[in-house]
Amino acid sequence: MNAIDNLVALLSRLPGIGKKSAQRLAYHILEAPRSYAETLATALSTLHDSIKRCSVCGSFTETDPCPICTDKTRDATLLCVVERSQDVRVIEESREYGGRFHVLGGLIAPLDGIGPDDLAIGSLLARVRNERIREVILALNPTVEGDTTSLYIQKMLKDMPAAVTRLASGLPVGGDLEYADRLTLARSLRGRVTM
Amino acid sequence: MNAIDNLVALLSRLPGIGKKSAQRLAYHILEAPRSYAETLATALSTLHDSIKRCSVCGSFTETDPCPICTDKTRDATLLCVVERSQDVRVIEESREYGGRFHVLGGLIAPLDGIGPDDLAIGSLLARVRNERIREVILALNPTVEGDTTSLYIQKMLKDMPAAVTRLASGLPVGGDLEYADRLTLARSLRGRVTM
């Protein structure tokens, strides 16, 4: 396999990139100044060394604990539960939220063999207890898996004093949180409802 | 700027990759096994060293001249003129063509300041003369720039014995050759018409 085919094969393994798109990207990189390919190569090879998971909230960060967990100006009694690290970024960009985060690392999906024990739910319960959280906001995708996970967490938190809310409708049902626009997301944060 | 933002910024410079897609790709790479990022980094950093342009036809290749130009089983009197190196791959995949190629490196586009002298048209005329080409197939995108370039080349070749043909209609007008399917492309090669 030659160098172009090799690059095309690697790029086609990315989500949403088919063979044709991968070819287009590979030829674009080949025709762009050589410095672009080199800079991208460096960014990729150093990525996993620069980024780790925050030992408190589980999101990707360069420092542990992450800047959000150590920010004294944020409301430490408000905890937003998200599926993945990139959802933290999406919610931060809505500029509507000033509390902390907890990354589950996935959603309950029995058909895929993912149960509550595979997710950071135990550490969530411990945080709610130890950090005296007054409100847990469940910001999971409005899908079957997201709703199942929200209900499960709500049940586990029932005997604790924290209020449990979820994002308001406004997100298109069956959609993906990552692709919501800033305003829709801000509105659904503002209109969150008690479960 | 942290390592993720840096990677997102680099990926958004690729064609067809917006900010949201770049974020999705970056987090996917972060969550994938570290070996994937490393393999991709190596493929990118060695790309420009492995690949050069064929000194005969101008397409990207690991050996110079390229395997197509040195293949004795191909019809050396048939020359297919394409805009970019990736078009060679597309036409090869149609498995309908057994001649050689000539890559122009672009199309005549006066509004973008690209004239005939910026393209490999001089070397095309020399090849048609020296290699005793009997037919030149113009396989350029069916756009204004493609048609302008085809007409210009046809005019320059008028006094040479080579027949000049272009791909048959069948390609959707205004479309992009790179995204044509194999069968449509095969049919338009078979039905090529004299200009």
Asked whether the predicted pLDDT for residue A38 surpasses 80, the reply is yes
Q: Give the pLDDT mean for A148-173.
A: 87
Say whether B60 and A178 touch across the interface (CB within 8 A).
Answer: no
Residue of A nearest to B52 (CA): A30
Number of domains, chain A: 2
A46–B11: do the CB atoms touch at under 8 Å?
A: no
Task: Provide the shortest C-alpha distance from residue B55 to chain A (in Å).
Answer: 16
Which helix (H) or strand (E) element contains residue B93? helix B85-93
B181 lies in some domain: no
C-alpha–C-alpha distance, residues A6 and B152, integer Å: 37
Count of CB atoms situated within 10 Å of the CB of B119: 22
State the Cα–Cα distance between residues B191 and B188, nearest whole angstrom.
5
Predicted confidence at residue B144, as pLDDT, reads 87
The answer, yes or no, to whether residue A170 has pLDDT greater than 70, is no
The residue of chain A with its CA nearest to that of B30 is A48
Identify the three-state secondary structure at position A139.
coil
User: Does residue B45 sit in the same domain as residue B64?
Assistant: no
**Distance in Å, alpha carbon of B159 to nearest chain A alpha carbon:** 34
Same domain membership, residue A46 and residue A21: yes
Closest CA of chain B from A194, distance in Å: 30
A131 shares a domain with A41: no
pLDDT tens-digit readout, B61-83:
999 999 999 999 999 999 999 99
Task: Confirm if B151 and B92 have CB atoms less than 8 A apart.
Answer: no
Within this chain, do residues B134 and B111 fall inside the same structural domain, yes or no? yes
Burial class (CB in 10 A: 0-12, 13-18, 19+), A195: middle
Q: Could you tell me the pTM of the whole model?
A: 0.78
Domain assignment present for residue B190? The answer is no
**Given an 8 Å threshold on Cβ–Cβ distance, is B47 in contact with A7?**
yes
Residues A133 and A160 in one domain: yes
In a domain, B183, yes or no: no
| Alpha carbons within 13 A on the beta-carbon side of A80 | 25
Considering the domain boundaries, does residue B191 fall inside one?
no
Q: Do you know the residue count of chain B?
A: 195
Question: Does one domain contain both A90 and A156?
Answer: yes
Round to whole Å and give the CA distance between A26 and B15.
10
Contact B44 A44 (CB under 8 A): yes
Same domain for B142 and B113: yes
**CATH code of A38's domain:** 1.10.8.420
Q: For B127-138, what is the mean pLDDT?
A: 95
Cis peptide before B33, with omega less than 30 degrees from 0?
no
Does some domain include residue A113?
Answer: yes
Q: Which ipTM value was assigned to this complex?
A: 0.80
- Which candidate from B20, B34, B41 shows the least CB-CB separation from A179? B20
> A29, B14: Cβ pair inside 8 Å?
yes
Residues A69 and A149 in one domain: yes
**Å from B183 to nearest chain A CA?**
16
B-chain CB neighbours of A6 within 8 Å are 43
User: Could you tell me if A77 and A151 lie in one domain?
Assistant: yes
Across the interface, which of B14, B34, B60 has its CB nearest the CB of A28?
A: B14
DSSP bridge pairs for B78: B135
Whether residues A67 and A143 fall in one domain: yes
The conformation of residue B173, written as its DSSP 8-state character, comes to T
What is the end-to-end Cα distance of chain B in Å, rounded? 56
Token digits of residue A100? 């902390």
Could you tell me if residue B176 is inside a domain? no
- For chain A, the first-to-last Cα distance in angstroms comes to 55
Judged against a pLDDT cut of 70, whether residue B58 lies above it is answered with yes
A71 in any annotated domain = yes
Q: What is the mean pLDDT of chain A?
A: 91
pLDDT tens string A92-136: 988 889 999 999 999 999 999 999 999 999 999 999 999 999 999
- The pLDDT of A11-25, averaged and rounded, is 94
Q: What are phi and psi of B163, to 5 degrees?
A: -75, 145
CATH number of the domain that residue A114 is part of = 3.40.1360.10
Q: Which range of residues forms the domain containing residue B83? A: 60-166
- What pLDDT was estimated at residue A169? 61
Looking at the fold, whether A42 and A95 belong to one and the same domain comes out as: no
Q: Are residues B18 and B99 in the same domain?
A: no
Residue A79 has pLDDT above 90, yes or no: yes
| Assigned domain for B26 exists | yes
